[in-house]
Structure 1
Amino acid sequence: MIELNEIRIWEGVIIVDYTELVKAISELHNVPKMDKEYELYYDETNNSRIFRLTDEGFNFNEKAYFLLGGLAFEKGKLPSKESLESLVEKLRVQQNSTEIKFKHIQQKAKFFLELISKKRVRDFIEWLYDNKCWVHYSYRDNFYYSIVDIIDSLEESSFGGFEFNRELKSTLYDCIAKDKDWFIQLMIYFDYPNVKDHNQFIGEILKWFDRINPDGYDFNIEYLRQSMKSHRKDILIFLEGNTDRVMIENYADIYRNSILTFYNSVHVFDEELEIQKKLDENTIEVFGKEVSYEFVKSDNSIFVQLSDLIVGILRMWMGLLESHSIFDLKEIFLNLTATQKQTIIQFQSLMYNSLLENWGFKHGSGSDQFEEKINYFMEYNF
């Protein structure tokens, strides 16, 4: 557990110094140029408010990843007013509309390939590409995020370092995906993640491991089985003291992580009252300086509006990746129309150039399998 550097109260305001956490982010993830001054604009999608279990399953589609992201610029280097006016003219559906929404360019497209065939989407991506804009985003696979506490409760999972820990999480996630209905019922029965009978919970998982890996051929599953077996009479520390069946109470931590990752930057979020209330519970300070962020109504910021378009495109792009294997993606990419291919090349270049500027512009909590799909897309020669 990373300790915060200092918590103090000044004139009734709680000030939290996150300097040590920022240093840890820098050291652990090697994020470059964290102190550079950017202007970051945000919108979000797939916000379930709370992600929890019901008697039937989840209260929200677990395949719909939460996504926070938008546009990034070097401070003071925004696109020209003339360029923005030209874009708005192309994208606006009605002359009297007060703002641009993703639905205006989506035009009822249900899938990513259908989306990038729409003229307004093609015009928007081309504008981003021509203006050398940067895209930043953070995503969370809610189900993956919910089950990794099982791994992190086992001290043996850290013996092989960060990468092995991730590998074990992805192995468990992959196994669960193949037997999801059974595992969800297990979670419901034990009021996961607030397990009361840890011995019985571990016993059920051990029997499941025996069923899916009877000969012990899969090293990672066998490693997890032996590790859990050694904890048969222990408490899984991250699976107690929680609220029954509530995996994610809110997404404020993703907002906070974005603010801390670029602590010298200006952060402008679309208005989200519950998140703002959580963040405003204390003043965020790094290296003795208060970090700048604000929440605004989207109709007051063209760049927040454009971030809504970006996040909508990213959501459908992730939907494509999530629902297909790499083999399927290869077939899909081989059969693009000329128009789709031109737009997807610009979109790929936009994403690639953003990571060239700062690969801290991408942050995700998801399985290795999903990250492999992102990498496959980024490296594909269209």
Structure 2
Amino acid sequence: MTDINDLRAPVLAINNLPNVDSNYTMHYDETNNIRRLHLTPNGLNVRVPQCFVLGGIAHRGAPPLLGFEDLRTVLRLQNSTQELKLAHLGKGDFLNLLNCSKIETLLDWLFSQNLFVHYHVLDPLYWSIVDVVDSVVTENGNVHLMMIAPMLKNDLYSILRDNVETTADLLGQYTYPDVGHDRRAAFIAELRDLLEIQRQLLPPFNFQMLRGLLQIAAKLDVLPYLENEPPNVLIDGFGDFYLQRIALFRNSTHILDIETMIEAYLRDLDLRDGNARLRNFSFVDSKDHPWVQVSDVIAGLLGKFFGFVNRTPAPDINYARSQFTDRQKRSLKMLTHLIGRSVEECPAFVHYVVSLEDHQRREGVLGF
């Protein structure tokens, strides 16, 4: 049995989240759900993991009634279209999608309906490597080290994401995260060598701080999150991220597209709100739920956006924006308004597990 209040209490204790206990209807879909990320003899099972996005549309109370014919009319869909997908509105990367007239139409329409968007975004590679920093910080116990942990995680990620194949090879040699006691010193030594090779990627101060962290790591007797772990398994599923949303917004109704693995995961937890069984979520066939179809488009568009942010250095982002067409400018402005209105309503509508650098790149595009 799992009481969701035990999960949400630590989040509420350290964050100001107005309206998180309000009654919303939250529709969901997802994109880039690789289901499992692990190391193989040939590298990662997914060569270049993309940002996982779980999200969609939210509305106070019950959402407006929406039939598929309404979507067909608003978005000028072909008569042969029976279910809305992102590909029906546009194709290509984020920049191409911003230049599609139907994407602009959808964003304008969503804003006019007084709807909110909500999403959880996860960078799988970043999530996988932060245990290195957390292990050192936890075992060392230095408060100042804890305060700069986000910066250290960002910098370690910067040197490891520069060449994903090299990173996968390094992690695979040590059956990461199950590095273990006997191989720990060699693993840390290889990270230090890689840092020296890649030092040009970091400002001098950041380089020195990360080198200092790895020097501390070499002297510790235990690295807690790098021992007695399932070998070669970086992510064993995304169920926890569904659970976080359902638990945090416990007074809301959560309507999710069918995902049998997630259904089984949540069912096995026997979720409770205090003594009462938790009944605030359901899985539905998207063909019968137009708002879930709209959520599919939003999750897909956001997946493209965070992929663009993740793969594009800040100077290149700035250059791309300087070349925007009028439609791209209008579409981005409306997407920004939608997200901004949603954050103002409830900051918990958006949640990020990404590096500090990717936060900064996102802010460079959205302005927040």
Q: TM-score, normalised to structure 1's length?
A: 0.87
| RMSD over aligned Cα atoms | 2.3
SS state at 1:122 partner: helix
Distance 1:363 1:162, change over 3 A: farther
Asked whether the 8 Å contact 1:158–1:164 carries over to 2, the reply is no
Distance 1:90 1:141, change over 3 A: same
Q: Residue 244 of structure 1 is aligned with which of 211, 231, 235?
A: 231
Asked whether the 8 Å contact 1:206–1:228 carries over to 2, the reply is no
Task: Describe how 1:133-212 pairs up with structure 2 within 5 A.
Answer: 133-154=115-136, 155=138, 156=140, 159-160=143-144, 163-178=147-162, 180-196=164-180, 197-212=183-198
Asked whether the 8 Å contact 1:92–1:104 carries over to 2, the reply is no
Distance 1:139 1:62, change over 3 A: farther
Asked whether the 8 Å contact 2:39–2:172 carries over to 1, the reply is yes
Q: Distance in 2 between matches of 1:27 and 1:53?
A: 36
Q: Distance in 2 between matches of 1:128 and 1:245?
A: 42
Q: CA deviation at 1:179?
A: 5.2
Task: Describe how 1:25-174 pairs up with structure 2 within 5 A.
Answer: 25-76=11-62, 78-81=63-66, 85-91=69-75, 93-106=77-90, 109-154=91-136, 155=138, 156=140, 159-160=143-144, 163-174=147-158
Asked whether the 8 Å contact 2:53–2:303 carries over to 1, the reply is yes
Count residues with an aligned counterpart.
360
Find the counterpart in structure 1 of residue 212 from structure 2: 223
1:345 equivalent in alignment to 2:333: yes
Q: Residue 259 of structure 1 is aligned with which of 223, 228, 246?
A: 246
Distance 1:312 1:43, change over 3 A: same
Shift >6 Å, 4+ stretches: none
* Per-residue Cα deviation, 1:69-118 (whole angstroms, up to 9, x for no partner): 00011112x23558x75433233644354321222112xx2111211222
Distance 1:219 1:68, change over 3 A: same
5+ unaligned residues in a row in structure 2: which ranges?
none
Q: CA deviation at 1:307?
A: 0.3
Find the counterpart in structure 2 of residue 309 from structure 1: 297
Q: CA deviation at 1:288?
A: 4.0
Q: Distance in 2 between matches of 1:21 and 1:160?
A: 27
5+ unaligned residues in a row in structure 1: which ranges?
1-14
Asked whether the 8 Å contact 1:45–1:67 carries over to 2, the reply is yes
Q: Distance in 1 between matches of 2:230 and 2:344?
A: 41
Asked whether the 8 Å contact 1:37–1:265 carries over to 2, the reply is yes
* Per-residue Cα deviation, 1:54-76 (whole angstroms, up to 9, x for no partner): 22221114341111000011112
| Aligned residues with identical type, % of pairs | 27
Q: TM-score, normalised to structure 2's length?
A: 0.90
* Per-residue Cα deviation, 1:268-300 (whole angstroms, up to 9, x for no partner): 110000111011003222344433111111112
